[in-house]
Structure 1
Amino acid sequence: METRVDEVADGIYRLNTKVPGFNFNQYLVVDEEPLLFHTGPRGLFESVRAAIARVIPLERLRWLGFSHVEADECGALNRFLAVAPQASPLCSKVAAMVSITDLADRPPRGLADGEQVSLGRRNVTWLDAPHVPHGWECGYLFERETRTLLCGDLFTQADGCEVPVTEGDILGPSEAFRLQMDYFAHARQQGAILERLAGTQPTTLACMHGSAWRGDGGALIRALAASLERQAQ
């Protein structure tokens, strides 16, 4: 098992590991204070660790971010904290309050909705997205310089390992996957949250499973919202 490394936006690297029937991505944002978004599960730690080391030394990692508390999002968090002495967990205030302050071996930085974190020449902004697709503590990071939305489980694709970043259709495959195993909470505020994410006008969507995507991200997120709305009728 080997984790593949590809640059999908300027200074943003997709780390992809293929497992039978599925795949996992982490995203490494390289700056003065490098950020890893998603740690992957514990079983992938050595492979992901080796992949990061092909880009930067592990000890340079400053932030270990994730969308919500789940094994593939933060399962290897404490293992990374052990090899990256300057790193801290980065998550929503809710995640910090209900889980990570207790689970993590180092105190987290809990972010309020709209709060920015400077990585050096870049800023990332935390966007609360409770229950979209799932998890009270769910949220995403938007990197303004490259207009990259680190969008977690949105647009989950079982395939897409071989293509690091695509301009093709990911909504069709992701909706087909969702209909087999619907992981959306279908919260009442879902449409408003997706519209807010679309309003960031991302040009790269950094998906946690499958290919990253490049294009009019606002239009694609609105298409997802419309598909979810049709399914609810």
Structure 2
Amino acid sequence: MAAVDEIAPDIFRINMMTVPDEDFSTSFFVIRDEAPTLVETGFRRAYEETHDAVAAVIDPTTLRYLVVPHLEGDECGALNPFLAQAPHAVPVGSPIGVALNLSDFADREPRAVDADTELDLGEHKLRFLITPYVHTWESMLPYDVTSGTVFCSDVFIGPEGRRAVTDADQTDAMVRMYRTVGIFPSRAHLNHALDKIEAVHPQTLACHHGSVKAGNIATYLQVLRETDVTGVTEWNPMLEPPGS
């Protein structure tokens, strides 16, 4: 069952356990405002359950923006079902994401946003960090200027999906996860993204996997700068090359 928790004023985390035995979860976020917004949508296969969770916060038919940080099933699999329910909703993605993916994937014409774009939701103002290859080439990270919340997608992932918000130091677990899954292809691109995140002085890191981070933010940034987490540094059978 999807869990719903308010993680910042009028920002709600919708969370489902993806791999319950390993405490690995997937979240997306609802911004309740004059222009209700989803940041990510979760998996298509989980749409009925997550739709009901969204409906506990807002009327899904009133959605105005559906923000897609990058094209993956857990990020935007349920995009089109939500669009079908919300006649005025607009998909939002990075310029590369819109040109190469969303313009074909989405059932409604998407809007491309960049570092100069601001979406006025009412009380909340969304801006965008363009972060290529973190971890796909069209990646971008939205942030809410009003609350200081960075929706950090697959950056700062961690455990404890059942705990909505934590101020504990989970950097060791974060590093272990990255060394297993190997989602960052380039140190230069990762540092570029960390520079952009640090420059907006986040108060909350709204993580797509694991607990939302409400403390130790400087530590998380430092650890990702100083630790080798690009490429695969630990054996993962899921990523083993064919024929090996």
Q: What TM-score results when the alignment is normalised by the length of structure 1?
A: 0.93
Q: Secondary structure at the match of 1:198?
A: helix
Contact (CA 8 Å) 2:186, 2:231: kept in 1 or not?
A: no
CA distance in 2, matches of 1:217, 1:205: 8
Other-structure match for 1:178: 178
How much identity, in percent, do the aligned residues show?
32
Contact (CA 8 Å) 1:124, 1:144: kept in 2 or not?
A: yes
Partner deviation per Cα, 1:62-109 (whole Å, 9 max, x = no partner): 111121111111111111101111111011111100011111110011
Other-structure match for 1:43: 45
Residue 8 of structure 2 is aligned to residue 3 of structure 1: no
Is the deviation greater in 144-153 or in 110-119?
110-119
CA distance in 2, matches of 1:189, 1:56: 36
* AA matched with 1:8: I
Other-structure match for 1:124: 126
Other-structure match for 1:169: 169
Other-structure match for 1:68: 70
Residue 220 of structure 2 is aligned to residue 220 of structure 1: yes
* AA matched with 1:136: W
Structure 2, unpaired ranges of 5+: 233-244
Partner deviation per Cα, 1:201-221 (whole Å, 9 max, x = no partner): 101000001100102534522
* AA matched with 2:9: D
Contact (CA 8 Å) 1:151, 1:207: kept in 2 or not?
A: yes
Q: Secondary structure at the match of 2:168?
A: coil
Contact (CA 8 Å) 1:130, 1:137: kept in 2 or not?
A: yes
Partner deviation per Cα, 1:110-141 (whole Å, 9 max, x = no partner): 10223211111211111100002x11110101
Other-structure match for 1:102: 104
Aligned length: 229
- Please state how far the C-alpha of 1:229 moved relative to its aligned partner: 7.5
Contact (CA 8 Å) 2:179, 2:230: kept in 1 or not?
A: no
Other-structure match for 2:201: 201
* AA matched with 2:142: L
Other-structure match for 1:135: 136
Structure 1, unpaired ranges of 5+: none
CA distance in 2, matches of 1:92, 1:27: 18
CA distance in 1, matches of 2:62, 2:230: 46
CA distance in 2, matches of 1:216, 1:203: 10
1:17-36 counterparts in 2 under 5 A?
A: 17-20=16-19, 21=22, 22-36=24-38
CA distance in 2, matches of 1:164, 1:36: 17
- Please state how far the C-alpha of 1:146 moved relative to its aligned partner: 0.8
Contact (CA 8 Å) 2:125, 2:145: kept in 1 or not?
A: yes
Contact (CA 8 Å) 2:184, 2:230: kept in 1 or not?
A: no
Contact (CA 8 Å) 2:175, 2:229: kept in 1 or not?
A: no
CA distance in 1, matches of 2:204, 2:69: 17
Q: Secondary structure at the match of 2:227?
A: helix
Q: What TM-score results when the alignment is normalised by the length of structure 2?
A: 0.89
Is the deviation greater in 85-94 or in 190-199?
190-199
* AA matched with 2:18: V
Other-structure match for 2:239: none
Q: Secondary structure at the match of 1:89?
A: strand
CA distance in 2, matches of 1:202, 1:105: 33
Other-structure match for 1:151: 152
* AA matched with 1:222: Q
Contact (CA 8 Å) 2:7, 2:212: kept in 1 or not?
A: yes
- Please state how far the C-alpha of 1:170 moved relative to its aligned partner: 2.5
